[in-house]
A and B are shown apart, each in its own frame.
Chain A
Amino acid sequence: MAIIEAHSIRKSYGSLEVLHDVDLSVQEGEILGLIGPSGSGKSTLLRILDLIEPSDGGALSLFGIDVVAERGRWLDLRRRMGMLFQRPIVFNASVYDNVAMGLRYRGASSDDIDRRVKEALEAVGLSRYIGSRATDLSGGEQQRVALSRVLVTDPEILFLDEPTANLDPGSTATIEAIVARLNREEGTTVLISTHDLSQGQRLAHRVAVMIEGTVAQAGSPREIFHEPRDQKIARFVGVQNIIPGRVVSRKEGLTTVEAGGRQIVSTTPPPAEEVTVVIRGEDISLHRREPGYEEAENLFPATVTSIEPTAPFVNVTVHCGCDLVALVTARRAEALGLAAGMQVWVSLQAKAVHLIPREGPG
């Protein structure tokens, strides 16, 4: 059952429209990654879903309750959810008092608070700081205090707004592990916004991409990263090759597209005559000589035009009528002995070639 169901959500601040036509549905027990560029409205959407602020319009139901109609139940509903913010927020009090805040708001008994706060600090590895002033801790430690402050209230839905954007890799890994375990063991529904695409892929069962104030596409990480619905999404999810082309034929389940004089086959049914060919750099393989046995439907010679290291990978641009960027490991690039001007063979599976209808320029 959908634990969160949002339709046509709108939000503006003054004349600035931050959200429009947001449709989103989240199933109980799933981890949904909300990805999108900065300023695309991720934080605002999370605040609206957590009932921190109202939307300007649209329908929203949480736990099957129509929250637009039932404003009187917001406090109760809010107490079934929790949210962790991007910037570590701690209050000028001891770590203990910080973690106890949500429980005190809920009127828990002091014995209960004592036991649960100690357990929660144990879980995030901060027991030794229980009596310290929270503002004296490092950023990563403060964020763990903030996380345990949320977790101690046993939220049924956990919202995480870029929770690791300011943290070192160690603290990030700790927080990711806690979130994944919570979802697995307690069945907590998690919404995590991030602009770190790999975090989205690592944690999320499903990903929703926000572009310019609306959810542009939602689906499995595979769909989002390999079959983006339009050019903006493709660009955001880091597709290296976004090439204009024209469909020339369709037979035996394969679409042939011409791009810059080069014919490329794809398994995508033609969405229009004028298309944009979308190919991830890591799906393109380079070879020194024509491979004797290769399952890829696309196989053609090309010339290396430039080599750009982006450790641990190398972006290799080859020309084969059109320009293609292949992402190869540094080790593979070394083994191939790549150099500008060199002749190589490109192999590319038809299912790695995704076609979307061509939009206007840009």
Chain B
Amino acid sequence: MVNGSPIVEGFIEAINLIITLNPQVVEITIRSLYISLTATFFAALIALPAGALIYFYEFRGKHAVVSTLQTLYALPTVIVGLLMFLLLSNIGPFGFLRLLYTPGGMIVTQTVLIIPLLMGLTVSALSGIDRDKRYTITALGASRFQTVTTIIMEARFAVMSGVLLGFGRAIAEVGTVMIVGGNIRGATRVLTTAIALNTSMANYSMSIALGIILLGVALGVNIALSLVQRR
């Protein structure tokens, strides 16, 4: 029973694929990392200052904005995928950009997907700085700008945790990249979509190999998170 089991064989084959640096495995892994890292970078570029603005400025409806952001954490990824597909397709307003079924389109989609998460986590990271610390900063003679930079610096590890979580969500996510990327071999195929496809084709060794890599990335993010949170 054990010998000849497709699962055991698939597992052995998968290890082999990884150790021998199978070109297809390497290519898919690199593309996945490239797309999700780039998306995380752009999302952070937008969400961190936006989150800081929400935290530092008092305005009407602030509470509602924060609640909305938190609701968007749980936004189904296929909905984001569908929305971005409609926006980027020929019939949509951004069709002229020709981003549908390209890594660029996937980057934009993942960026949109994790911006609410990053913004929300930035707001809560900054809110984690207690009142006495803010009083201390004011009492030490900080200007408004110096106050903002000091608080952001003080919350840097919590903010970084948020960014890492965002990256984890982006790379592990399958719905949007399937819809917007189209899972085109050699062009938009990433770890998650390749696993879905290979599994449906009973090509278990490839799926398992890619799964191990995806788990490895997730594990890496978790280790980085716990290192950051221990500071």
Q: A residues near B, CB below 8 A?
A: 47, 50, 52, 75, 78-79, 81-83, 85, 87, 89, 91-93, 101-102, 105-106, 146, 149-150, 153, 159
Contacts and interface: CB of A to CB of B under 8 A. Distances in A.
A83 B142 CA distance: 13
A32 B206 CA distance: 77
Contacts of A150: 139-140
A91 B141 contact: no
A25 to B, nearest CB: 22
Nearest to B139: A83
Nearest to B157: A92
Contacts of B137: 101
B150 interface: yes
A219 B164 CA distance: 58
Contacts of B146: 105
10 tightest A-B contacts by CB? A79-B141, A83-B139, A102-B140, A89-B136, A105-B142, A105-B141, A52-B138, A78-B141, A105-B146, A52-B135
Interface of B: 132-133, 135-143, 146, 150, 153-154, 157, 231
A92 B140 contact: no
A81 B141 CA distance: 8
A317 to B, nearest CB: 43
B140 A149 contact: yes
B140 A153 contact: yes
A98 to B, nearest CB: 10
A101 B150 contact: yes
B132 A87 contact: yes
A28 B149 CA distance: 34
A102 B141 contact: yes
Contacts of A146: 136
Contact of B141 (A47, A92, A153): A153
Contacts of B138: 52, 78
18 contacts: A78-B139, A79-B141, A82-B139, A82-B140, A83-B135, A83-B139, A85-B132, A87-B132, A89-B132, A89-B136, A91-B150, A92-B231, A93-B153, A102-B140, A102-B141, A105-B141, A105-B142, A150-B140
A47 B131 CA distance: 12
A47 B231 CA distance: 31
Highest count of chain A CB atoms <10 Å: which of B136, B138, B139, B146 = B139
Interface of A, secondary structure class, is mixed
A91 B150 CA distance: 9
Given A78-B138, A92-B154, A92-B231, A105 B143 contact: yes
A210 B174 CA distance: 63
B141 A85 contact: no
Contacts of A159: 139
Contacts of B153: 91, 93
Contact of A52 (B139, B143, B150, B231): B139
B147 to A, nearest CB: 9
Nearest to A43: B135
Contacts of A89: 132-133, 136
Contacts of A81: 139
B167 to A, nearest CB: 23
